[in-house]
Structure 1
Amino acid sequence: MDLILHHYDFSNYAEKARLALGYKDLDWHSVIIPPTAPKPDLTPMTGGYRRTPVLQVGADIYCDTRRIMQELERLCPEPTFYPAGLETTANMIAYWAENQLFRPMSLYVSGSNLDVLPDNLQADRSRMRGLPEPSPETVRRAAKRSAPAVRVQIDWVEALFADGRDWAAGGAVTVADFALYHALWFLTARTDRLAFELEDRPRIQGWMARVTEFGHGTRQEMESQAALEVAARAKPMDGYQYDAFEEDPPLGAAVRVRADDYGRDPVEGELVELTSAKIGVRRQDAVLGDVVVHFPRLGYDLRAIQ
């Protein structure tokens, strides 16, 4: 089944997914989506979810890079993202990188590059967090406040490699490398104005060079309408898992899923998969028919619809 990545070029999370595809040397189709709402050719598949990127495999739609990487691992187990003995450490580093590190990083980078970002980007991102649209002055002040938190944590990253390790969690590539890399990649994704923040950081520079060598796999462009046609022709896969906690909704329940931090557009449907790592919701689209939308368990709020 073809892999279709819905993304845009300067999305740091999309860069994480592109590198994951490259690490496993996979062929994939690229559908470029708008960086801001509306996303009319994406939301029919996701049921409302609009964060970037999204991986499509037929009529199965994978939201959030953590769930995307789980699915890539299932489809192509080697080389692995989850080497034995490093998974817990890797998950902890990845969680820190994508939360404590990336939030001030995003404010710092955005406020330092306002003139080269889409005009409506800040308004869109504020709406995703339920906040009013900020003025350019407010965004620049937020960048200035965030710079110290970024520098403190860049020092931590440099120190992480002081023991001579090649990879973030130790002796092998893990999900931590992808999560940490994309946060630092974002510093110079649009301009080189903040490149000085990584100067005199030889260990970070060496590690980033190693990650960059993963490449992006083999990419082929695809129009969004063609991706919709793929979803309409396909059927969701079989073999979903249910291994839930006693407090969870039962299999087949009508549920609502949404992110617990920002971009909290709800996705509703029938619960068809639930484990400690993943959630799957079947929904019916008037044009596409049945699709199953997949999320990671952590970071998403799952509730039965009463």
Structure 2
Amino acid sequence: MTPLPTSLILHQYDFSNFAEKARLMMGFKDLAWRAVEIPPIEPKPKLTPLTGGYRRTPVLQDGADVWCDTKLIARELERRVPQPTFYPPNSSGTADAIAWWAEQQFMRPTALYVSGINADHMPEGLHADRAKLHGLPIPSIEAVRKAAYRNLQLVRPQVKWIADMLADGRPYLLGDLPSIADFATYHAVWFFRGRNIDCREVLNAYPRLIAWRDRMEAIGHGHRTNIDADVALAEARAATPATPRASEPQEGDPLPGQRARVRASDNAKDWIEGAVHFIDADEIALLHENGEVGQVAVHFPRLGYDWRSMS
């Protein structure tokens, strides 16, 4: 099959589990895409000009539009390439609910377990950077190690839940076809490979879960080309934000053209500010200006994010 050509750029780093989710989604849609390797910790001088200060990984770019958070990246990829779908008929609501659980309840203890076991093998400054991101004091290496075993007790029952979904022999979590539930759950399971110390023994009691993991991995990453960050910045600078779809503001929402600010709702401290470019029940996009890229539209999901009107 000839890959679908795109102008998409994924700003990511290779050991990011959320970036792995995005890479696998690109592969599922059989897309040709480009990758910019970004630092795993601040500063991120070739990313934040594009995002108005948003610093999480990954970010998807097309010209002067960028999409933050893999929840919204999935929706944007689906809008552009509807088939094969992340949302099979008759299961999309369940798939979204499982995806929310996987990323809001399962991912965090998994990350704390795996990064704690690998505390001495993580990039320098990573533990301090993540503590800052969540508004927490900087932990010692010993505290990170201790947290690993506390969180393992949260990980194990949730791993069993995944195994129980697959206990009847179905190939994917909701049946014969993969859905967004599989992508959101897989990237947490993928993280068990660790940085140096492999933590996948947590899965060994569940052969059907391991078989599901291997099926998901086999989807692959599509057709990736690595590029320099300056190429991505130049493309943003040469473009203008795409004409948005018609906005559908909800009660109390800021209207297009009014100023607003947005941040992740899980203790993130950094607000991104700009004029509302597009808004509906699922998405809000802000226009911001930067000397390095000109005007860029930064798109955020509504779920999991706070916004404040500034008008």
Q: TM-score range by the shorter chain?
A: over 0.9
Deviations 1:28-71 (A, max 9, x none): 11100000000000000000000000000111001000111111
Report the Cα distance in structure 2 between the residues aligned to 1:287 and 1:119, rounded to whole angstroms.
Answer: 28
Question: In the alignment, is residue 207 of structure 1 matched against residue 209 of structure 2?
Answer: no
**SS state at 2:289 partner:** strand
Report the Cα distance in structure 2 between the residues aligned to 1:89 and 1:169, rounded to whole angstroms.
Answer: 8
In the alignment, which residue of structure 2 is the partner of 1:12? 17
Question: In the alignment, is residue 193 of structure 1 matched against residue 198 of structure 2?
Answer: yes
| Structure 2: segments with no counterpart, 5+ residues | 1-5
In the alignment, which residue of structure 2 is the partner of 1:56? 61
Matched-pair contact (CA < 8 Å) for 1:50–1:263: no
Report the Cα distance in structure 1 between the residues aligned to 2:246 and 2:92, rounded to whole angstroms.
Answer: 21
TM-score (norm 1): 0.97
Question: In the alignment, is residue 46 of structure 1 matched against residue 51 of structure 2?
Answer: yes
TM-score (norm 2): 0.96
- Shift, 1:262, TM fit: 4.1
- Residues 290, 76 of structure 1: alpha-carbon distance in 2 compared, 3 angstrom cutoff: same
Q: Identify the match of residue 217 of structure 1 among 210, 219, 222.
A: 222
- Shift, 1:192, TM fit: 4.7
In the alignment, which residue of structure 1 is the partner of 2:176? 171
Report the Cα distance in structure 1 between the residues aligned to 2:248 and 2:173, rounded to whole angstroms.
Answer: 31
Q: Once superposed, which parts of structure 1, at least 4 consecutive aligned residues long, lie more than 4 Å away?
A: none
- Counterpart residue type for residue 233 of structure 1: A
In the alignment, which residue of structure 2 is the partner of 1:238? 243
In the alignment, which residue of structure 2 is the partner of 1:84? 89
Matched-pair contact (CA < 8 Å) for 1:51–1:263: no
| Structure 1: segments with no counterpart, 5+ residues | none
Q: Identify the match of residue 33 of structure 2 among 28, 44, 58.
A: 28
Q: Identify the match of residue 270 of structure 1 among 264, 272, 275.
A: 275
- Shift, 1:284, TM fit: 1.3
**SS state at 1:35 partner:** coil
Count how many residue pairs are aligned between Structure 1 and Structure 2.
306
- Shift, 1:297, TM fit: 1.1
Matched-pair contact (CA < 8 Å) for 1:187–1:195: yes
**Farther-moved stretch of structure 1 (3-12 vs 239-248):** 239-248
In the alignment, which residue of structure 2 is the partner of 1:101? 106
Among all aligned residue pairs of Structure 1 and Structure 2, give the percentage whose two residues are the same amino acid.
49
- Shift, 1:200, TM fit: 2.2
- Counterpart residue type for residue 101 of structure 2: W
Report the Cα distance in structure 1 between the residues aligned to 2:161 and 2:251, rounded to whole angstroms.
Answer: 40
Deviations 1:114-140 (A, max 9, x none): 121111000000000111110011111
- Counterpart residue type for residue 45 of structure 2: P
Matched-pair contact (CA < 8 Å) for 2:133–2:267: yes
